[in-house]
Structure 1
Amino acid sequence: MQIKSNVTFKEYVKLLYKLTYERPVMKLILAFAGIILVWIIFYYLSIFDLPEPLIYQYLTLVLIFIVQPIVIYTTIRRNYFSSNYLMEPLEMEITSHEIKIKGDSFYLEIKWHKIYKIVEKPRWFLLYQNSLSAILIPKNVMSAAEVVNFRGILKKIEDDLIIDLKNPEGIKSAQ
């Protein structure tokens, strides 16, 4: 299967914000900020008899709602524009044994058993090479049939890996 893709900066930003803010720790931080915000609103509306918020509560909100997203954005921007892999148009050849990726400045072949983790998102396939680095395959460059075909390849790979894990020596069991 052949795929041609070019991840735009806008797509990359949306994906990374989504990945960042779906992490449990980020949800916890946002919930904490939400509680502080409700406290401040309730104080000024005199809904409950709450203590007056101090400067620390306001600073916490500014850090969580303004500074943190700006820092995340600048990190995303720096990563995108410093990586040829992300900015270049890519040609990918996907087989049941490996994935080959060709960009303007690099060529990469990875055997499926060397992939750390595979994640499917509503608009992306993410093929993690380690816990932080992933090959990004946008679904919008694939037809519906190609998405189904790719899922079939991933299912076959998953089944093969499960078989290999159950039988690491490659010994056939007597049935």
Structure 2
Amino acid sequence: MESASVWLLVFFVFIIIRTYFSVKNIFYSNKNIQEMISYTFTDEKIRTEGKTFDAYVTWDSIYKVKEKKEWFLIYQTAQTMNMVPKKFFTKDQISELRDLIRKNNVKAKLRND
């Protein structure tokens, strides 16, 4: 019984280490996500702009939004998201973004603070 527990622990440690190195490899292989990214939110779309790219997505194509204490996680698919730091927003801007998300009927888990 103890050997099964040890193997289970080894398996979980392996998964954590593998995930870390996979994410690190993805980050360093994608130059776009290493750039400073500017976000512009309008009634119709979200614009993302970096040094080498300029793109937008419409609200109706957003999969879902999760609001955390420090971040807005804007999912384009179940696996792909933009992490938008809240530290660059005023309280009023955070409230306005929440209203935009609700207004566009995006599936969302938003905070109430």
Which category describes the TM-score, using the shorter chain as reference length?
0.7 to 0.9
Pairwise CA distance, 1:117 = 1.5
Structure 2 counterpart of 1:58, one-letter code: V
Pairwise CA distance, 1:120 = 1.5
Match of 2:53 in 1: 106
Q: CA RMSD in A?
A: 1.9
Identity of aligned residues (%): 23
Residue ranges of structure 2 left out of the alignment (5+ in a row): 108-113
Which structure dedicates a bigger proportion of its chain to strand? 2
SS at match of 1:68: helix
Q: Distance in 1 between matches of 2:29 and 2:91?
A: 32
Which structure dedicates a bigger proportion of its chain to helix? 1
1:18-57 alignment runs, 5 A limit: 53=2, 55-57=3-5
SS at match of 2:92: helix
SS at match of 1:158: coil
Counterpart pick for 1:68 among 15, 19, 25: 15
Pairwise CA distance, 1:125 = 1.0
Query: How many corresponding residue pairs?
Result: 107
Deviations 1:148-167 (A, max 9, x none): 111111111128x9xxxxxx
Deviations 1:2-25 (A, max 9, x none): xxxxxxxxxxxxxxxxxxxxxxxx
SS at match of 1:100: strand
Deviations 1:114-147 (A, max 9, x none): 1122222222111111111112111122122211
Q: Distance in 1 between matches of 2:7 and 2:55?
A: 46
TM-score (norm 2): 0.83
Which one scores higher on RCO, CA 8 angstroms, separation ≥ 6? 1
TM-score (norm 1): 0.56
Q: Distance in 1 between matches of 2:61 and 2:9?
A: 42
Match of 2:27 in 1: 80
Structure 1 counterpart of 2:39, one-letter code: M
1:1-175 alignment runs, 5 A limit: 53=2, 55-64=3-12, 66-158=13-105
